[in-house]
Amino acid sequence: MTVLITGGSGFIGLELSRLLLEKGYRVVLFDLASPEQTKRGGEAPPFVRGTIADWAQVCQVVNEWKVDHVFHLGAMLSAQCEANPWAAVQVNALGTYHILEASRLFGVKKVVFTSSMGTYGYIPGGLVSDDTLQRPPIMYGVTKVFGELLGLYYHQRFGIDFRGVRFSQLVGPRIKSEGYGQYNPRMIEAALRGIPFEAWVTKETSIPMMYIKDAIRCLSELFEADAAKIKTRIYNVGQILPSPTAGDLLEEIKNHIKEVRITFKPDPKAMEILRHIPQQLDDQNARAEWGWSIHYGLKKMVEDFIKEYRAGL
């Protein structure tokens, strides 16, 4: 059974590929950049260079590799989308259309889509559910809402088993993607490297976050969940609670690394965008329908981050 991972060279794609290989799936990575590290022991999955923005390339990889299932992770993130919203439409919106249409044409059975809490705008009270109205103020969120709705249409009209998750900010070692919430992993890595880091937020800034290992497990569990139990289709999948502030994260880092040179200098543009991010994602549908739960709290996350980072040096 062949699984295609778009954005497969990214940290999430690589870690997910390792888990799927362990489970016996045939995995193909599809991305513009070749992966820096494709295996941690065992066989490396094949890599195909290409972009989801190119319809012909998407058709080629899906058809040539006889793909059965797709994990559609490939996307431009928030800061990149704001810097170039025109490219964001080509990659995030049209790229998702290309994946779904190729899936229809070539008989792909299941598409798992990664969406984001960025699909919501400012919500009074800060709590959002799967039924909360989505009115994102940034292009990243706009393209993700488009992807969600298009996937639901392809499920209803063409019978593709489309499933998705709205992630909070993902935190993990060696994540290189740019985003307004990436101050979290950058703080830990800077402390580990013994270098100064100036976070672009206040110490009081808090955004929902999830450890990368929870995210990988989440995607695998949703993918393998009994189809009869999948009702909501696109799910909020929660966060570490209580949601840590940047100051909370700094104090936890100091519990493990004594010499830390982290300061705070809020960037007005970043703070304005982060202000529109929800404060809590209600994940009751994911919990009820396929048994989702968070395993990593703040302390356990920082401990494992440090262990994994040092093991990879």
Report, at the CATH architecture level, how domain 2-168+212-236 is classified: 3-Layer(aba) Sandwich (3.40)
pTM of the model: 0.92
Residue of 250, 134, 271 whose CA lies nearest to 207: 271
161 strand-pairing partners: 110
CA nearest to 238, candidates 73, 117, 102: 117
Return per-residue pLDDT of the chain as tens, 313 residues. 999 999 999 889 999 999 999 999 999 999 999 887 544 555 679 999 999 999 999 999 999 999 999 999 999 988 899 999 999 999 999 999 999 999 999 999 999 999 999 999 888 888 999 999 999 999 999 999 999 999 999 999 999 999 999 999 999 997 777 778 899 999 999 999 999 999 999 999 999 999 999 999 999 999 999 999 999 999 999 899 888 999 999 999 999 998 999 999 999 988 988 887 888 999 999 999 999 999 999 999 999 999 999 987 5
Q: How far apart are CA 218 and CA 293, in angstroms?
A: 8
Closest by Cα among 138, 141, 140, 136 to 122? 136
Question: Could you tell me if 242 and 209 are in contact, meaning their C-beta atoms sit under 8 angstroms apart?
Answer: no
Q: What is the pLDDT of residue 38?
A: 43
Domain spans of the chain?
2-168+212-236, 171-207+240-277+296-312
CATH topology of domain 171-207+240-277+296-312: UDP-galactose 4-epimerase; domain 1 (3.90.25)
Residue 277 confidence (pLDDT): 83
**171-207+240-277+296-312: same fold as 2-168+212-236?**
no
Residue 249 near residue 180 (C-beta atoms within 8 A) = no
